[in-house]
Amino acid sequence: MGCFGFLKFMMFVFNGIIFLAGAAILGVGIWVKVDSGSILSFLGMIEDAPAELSQVLNVGYLLIAVGALLVIIGFLGCCGAIRESKCMLLLFFIIILLVFLAEVAGAVVILVFRPLAEDLFRKFGTAAVGSIKKDYGKNSDITGLWDTTMSTLKCCGIYNSTNFVDSPYYVANNNQYPPLCCPDGTNKPCNQTVIDNFTPIPGCFVKITQLIDDNMVAIIAVALGIAALELCAMTVSMILYCKIDSK
């Protein structure tokens, strides 16, 4: 097997794995959206927290998008290499290049315009607080989304429990906060007196920031690994593209 044949084989295997992974993710995403009732039953939590689970099911849209992109990339890479199709290899290269450039642009924005990004995060936090005060306890979708977020991250509100003051839930429950804002989600009335007697539950903004900071090394390593794979894929696809005419 010559160098050209080896590159074709590696291109086929690598993109075959991507194609199969994409097909699996796409299938799960479609299943989540089409047969959500069965998933809820399977999880065995319908009666406990239906609103929260209904929000979790929205991840199906993301799975479908990611799966479809991986299927397209894998298909173009496999078929382009095996059939020696310059058109498919070029499309494969362009898609990978666009994804790579989008990742680089995102990294540049985060690093160079970090103060701007922090300002945008603060504005997002202000808008989120407004959403809590307006809809928490009244809009089931917003309420379920916040309950899921707080339960997952072990946090309360955006910044602290005061974000719930004057919200529909707070008013309707005699000035009480959501149970998740009290230690261990206590069944006692979660009011200001209970909160003052314990260490405050941190806000979700603080928890997300802390989560990112704690895993920054891993995030950078994964990002660099993905970038290296993308560069290798683009290089191999261009080598095959240029070698096809010279065979």
Q: What is the pLDDT of residues 216-239, one digit of tens each?
A: 888 788 888 888 888 888 898 888
Q: Which one, of 151, 183, 146, 185, lies nearest residue 164 by Cα? A: 146
- The 10s digit of each residue's pLDDT in 145-181 is 888 888 888 889 888 888 999 999 999 988 899 988 8
What's residue 93's pLDDT? 92
pLDDT confidence tier of residue 45, bands split at 50, 70 and 90: very low
Residue 167 phi, psi dihedral angles, 5° rounding: -75, 160
Long-range contacts of 140-149 (CB under 8 A, 24+ apart): 140/51, 141/51, 141/54, 141/55, 143/51, 143/169, 144/51, 144/52, 144/54, 144/55, 145/55, 146/178, 147/49, 147/51, 147/52, 147/178, 147/180, 148/52, 148/55, 148/56, 149/204
Q: How confident is the model at residue 9 (pLDDT cuts 50, 70, 90)?
A: confident
Pair of tokens at residue 211: 């989560």
CA 62, distance to chain mean position in Å, is 8
Q: Are 163 and 132 in contact (CB under 8 A)?
A: yes
**In the chain, where does the domain assigned CATH 1.10.1450.10 lie?**
112-247
Report yes or no on whether pTM surpasses 0.75: no
Residue 106 sits at φ, ψ, to 5 deg, of -60, -40
Say what the pLDDT of residue 215 is: 82
Who wins on pLDDT, 114 or 144? 144
Please give the average per-residue pLDDT across 33-38, as a whole number: 64
Residue 175 — φ and ψ, nearest 5°?
60, 40
Q: Is residue 30 over pLDDT 60?
A: yes
The per-residue pLDDT for range 181-227, each reduced to its tens digit, is 888 765 578 888 888 888 888 888 888 888 888 888 887 888 888 88
Which one of 3.40.50.300, 1.10.10.10, 1.10.1450.10, 3.40.50.10420 gives the CATH number of domain 112-247?
1.10.1450.10
Write down the pLDDT at residue 50. 43
